[in-house]
Amino acid sequence: MARIEDTGDYIIAPDPHAPRLTRAVEGVDHDGNPARIAVVEERPLTIFLNAQEIVTAMTIGDYPEYLALGFLRNQGMLHDDEQITGVDYDDDLETVVVRTASQTSYEEKLKKKTRTSGCAVGTVFGDMMEGLEDVRLPAVAVRTSWLYALAGRINRTPSLYLEAGAIHGTVLCRQDRPLVYMEDVGRHNAVDKIAGWMLRHDQTADDKILYTTGRLTSEMVIKTAMMGIPVLASRSGFTAWGVEIAREVGLTLIGRMRGKRFVCLSGDDRLIRDADPDSVPEEGRTSRRKGAER
């Protein structure tokens, strides 16, 4: 496994001013005055596995290779021992082709699907839970000081979320250090980019924390568990099925992280409370965009 140098900096951080990610749109505000704001762009990305077209995903368009690899990995179409011989992106055709040394068993049973920018991607493939019954995550201790440090730094990081809203963010972390911060119109896209980066760079999962701005739904829990990451944390809330699955696989699940407050609904016995909550400042209203999409 590749070793991450602990420089304290992000390996990948958002670039809210990158070309093509947003464009200016003119309108009027609540007083009827002219308003010009940045809005997020959406564009299709078609993913092929060898010769089979798998899915068309609506995405902001950055890191398409990581998105394709992560999507295929999280849908169970690429196994850990799969030999990937190539990942080719064509910007004009907005297509990524992932090639493997041997033909996989998934191409024949899949038809073309369109993945929307919304959050109902669980309807795309009905067998996402295949193999989950064998997943048991390691019981990794989590220090509350790490959680507070991560939330504080991530919330202050310049991002497309803060620039334009209408976006979800997911951050791969180790202890109190955020490593890779991905954004997209769908939270599942952002998670898939993380998974693709980990696969491409042969990264370990059992020492990582996954932080997301999105809801802790069943699919988010399943993706995190299938990636082998033992801790999932979010600013947002939970669904009952997500909590149930987290408890079954041993995932530490932490939500509603705001300032010094959080709620742990799975794995609370792994928390090491080494930080005094009263020493943590309350989250200011300006630290995250008011009214941003969840």
Closest by CA to 16, choosing from 212, 163, 153, is 163
At 233-287, the pLDDT tens digits run 999 999 999 999 999 999 999 999 998 999 999 999 999 999 999 888 877 644 5
Tell me which amino acid residue 109 is: K
What domain range is 190 assigned to? Answer: 142-279
Question: Is the residue at 125 inside a domain?
Answer: no
Enter the tokens of residue 58: 């609506």
Which residue is listed with tokens 């699955």?
A: 245
Question: Is the residue at 129 inside a domain?
Answer: no
The CATH number that applies at residue 216 is: 3.40.140.10
Question: Is the residue at 194 inside a domain?
Answer: yes
Question: Is the residue at 61 inside a domain?
Answer: no
Question: Is the residue at 181 inside a domain?
Answer: yes
Tell me which amino acid residue 32 is: G
Alpha carbon separation from 183 to 30, 59, 93, 189 (Å, rounded): 29, 10, 22, 8
Q: How many domains does the chain have?
A: 1
The residues, ordered by sequence, that sit 6+ positions from 213 with a Cβ below 8 Å of its Cβ are 161, 168, 169, 170, 187, 234, 235, 236, 292, 294
Q: Which residues of 271-285 are buried (b: 16+ CB within 10 A; e: fewer)?
A: beeebeeeebeebee
Question: Is the residue at 239 inside a domain?
Answer: yes
Q: What H or E segment, with its residue span, contains residue 42?
A: none
Give the pLDDT of residue 108: 53
- Predicted TM-score (pTM) of this structure: 0.87
Question: Is the residue at 159 inside a domain?
Answer: yes
At 210-243, the pLDDT tens digits run 999 989 999 899 999 999 999 999 999 999 999 9
Question: Is the residue at 59 inside a domain?
Answer: no
